[in-house]
Amino acid sequence: MATLNKIAVLRGDGIGPEVVAQSLKVIDAINQKYGHDITIEEGLIGAIAIDKTGNPLPQETIDICKQADAIILGAIGDPKYDNDPTATVRPEQGLLAIRKELGLWCNIRPIALHDQLVDLSPIKAEYLKGVDYIIYRELTGGIYFGKKEKRDDYSSDLCEYHAYEIERIAKLAFEAARKRRRKLTLIDKANVLESSRLWRKVVMEMGKSYPDVTLDYLFIDNATMQVILNPRQFDVVLCSNMFGDIISDESSVLAGSLGLLPSGSIGDTSKLYEPVHGSYPQAAGLDIANPIASILSTAMMYRDFNMDREADCIEQAVKTCIAKGAMTQDLNPDTECPCSHFGDIMQSIILDGADYVKPRAQNETYSNII
């Protein structure tokens, strides 16, 4: 197991820089508390990289990432490209390219709910109690990366999978299921797609080596319904790239805010941690973004380096903030805790103890509390 000495930080676009700044405060506090000396090196990616270099993923950024033990990414995307179907260079190309360049074939997205926040979800609380699952999304294959054709009046995106691409992520998913509630659900469209039938064949065959894991299969259309109707049925969910993208945004609705969901992407040589949410350009610069997804992604990073004490400390501090009402406005409009203050509060909790945040009294502003 590698040690965590160097982190590459790619803040990206929109709210990316703001949420990553809070994660950096958390890393700084963890460094102080546990005596680590972790170096940070920054790189450009996304629209900001296009503006500065003409390339959404400059070679310099790839080099910085390859030299680092882990990568923290903010978000990518800028609306000026979304509404221009003729744009040939797009910020998202930077994200897809970094996944491919670094071979980050497995994207892990845990869906865990906080009891105090169940009322934020449009789904009734009775359906949400006990929901706890984890999505394993294939990240470097499928329709995202298949051959593309574009003519004036015709376009195509090919969905291709090799058995080895399915096997390596399925192995991780089976092993994760073994450490959890021993259930694996494969989401596909095997009633229509050849590539899905390959997923089913490979996973079914592998299932024989995991007799202790219950294997279930759902078609994507049914699965999107099941996420709403009976999300408690899921433990580990395994999907191709595109279906994982769909299921993870939908799953965020259960948690109450897309701003809560972290993710980790791993491959043979690199590890990258980023929130599930996008660049949320409408909120950029307003100091209202929820940094929890980025901060919990940072906790996932520590856990992957066997630094459970550090990961536990961060997750506990996030729970303390939520319990005491220190939340950004997407979670609690009454608290008005700005994004930047959330990182300060996290630092205080990590360094000064769990009871540092006191509940907000009437007429008290957030600056009086921290």
Active-site residue among 133, 136, 144, 302? 144
Q: Using CA atoms, how far apart are residues 158 and 162, in angstroms rounded to an integer?
A: 13
Instruction: Label residue 334 exposed, middle or buried (CB < 10 Å: 0-12, 13-18, 19+).
Output: exposed
Binding marks (x or -) toward ligand IPM, 22..61, rule CB under 6 A? ----------------------------------------
Residue numbers 268-287 binding ligand IPM by CB under 6 A: 278
If the CB atoms of residues 43 and 77 are measured against Mg ion, the closer one turns out to be: 77
Nearest partner of 161 among 193, 186, 192, judged by Cα? 193
Q: Are 350 and 317 in contact (CB under 8 A)?
A: yes
User: Does 92 contact ligand IPM by CB under 6 A?
Assistant: yes
Lookup result for tokens 């536990």: 312
Q: Which residue is nearest to Mg ion (CB)?
A: 245
Q: Which of 94/338 has CB closer to ligand IPM?
A: 94
* 334 assigned to active site: no
> Catalytic site residue 189?
yes
Residue 226 beta carbon to ligand IPM: minimum distance, rounded to whole angstroms? 20
Enumerate binding residues for Mg ion (CB under 5 A): 245
Question: Helices 308-324 and 292-304, interaxial angle, to 10°?
Answer: 160
DSSP string over 148-165: EEE-SS-EEE-----HHH
Q: Is 245 in the site for ligand IPM (CB under 6 A)?
A: yes
Tokens of 11: 């803040």
Which of 286, 270, 261 has the alpha carbon at shortest distance from 338?
A: 286
Note if 144 is an active site residue.
Answer: yes
Q: What is the rounded CA–CA span in Å between residue 185 and residue 173?
A: 10
The answer to whether 95 contacts ligand IPM (rule: CB under 6 A) is: yes
Q: What is the distance between the alpha carbons of residues 144 and 124, in angstroms, rounded to a whole number?
A: 34
8-state DSSP, 180: T
Supply the minimum distance, in Å, between the C-beta of residue 107 and ligand IPM.
7
List all residues 6 or more positions away from 318 whose beta carbon is below 8 Å from its beta carbon.
292, 295, 296, 299, 346
Closest separation between CB of residue 243 and Mg ion, Å?
A: 11
274/310 with CB nearer Mg ion: 274
> Closest CB to ligand IPM among 279 and 347?
279
| Residue 119 known to be catalytic | no
Give CA–CA dist 89/270, Å, rounded: 25
In the list ligand IPM, Mg ion, none, the entry touching 261 (Cβ below 5 to 8 angstroms by class) is none
Give the nearest distance from C-beta 231 to ligand IPM in angstroms. 19
Which of these is catalytic: 13, 69, 188, 245? 245
- Residues in contact with ligand IPM, counted by CB under 6 A, come to a total of 6
CB atoms within 10 A of CB 154: 7
Does the active-site annotation cover 78? no
Q: Are 65 and 97 in contact (CB under 8 A)?
A: no
User: Least distance in Å: CB of 245 to ligand IPM?
Assistant: 4
Out of ligand IPM, Mg ion, none, which partner does residue 95 contact, by CB within 5 to 8 A per kind?
A: ligand IPM
Q: Which is nearer to ligand IPM, 206 or 292 (CB)?
A: 292
The position carrying tokens 């923290």 is: 72
| 310 belongs to the binding site for ligand IPM (CB under 6 A) | no
The least distance separating ligand IPM from the CB of residue 154, rounded to whole angstroms, comes to: 23
What are the structure tokens assigned to 197, written together? 């039938």
Which are the catalytic amino acids? 144, 189, 221, 245, 249
Summarize as ranges the residues that interact with ligand IPM (CB under 6 A): 76-77, 92, 95, 245, 278
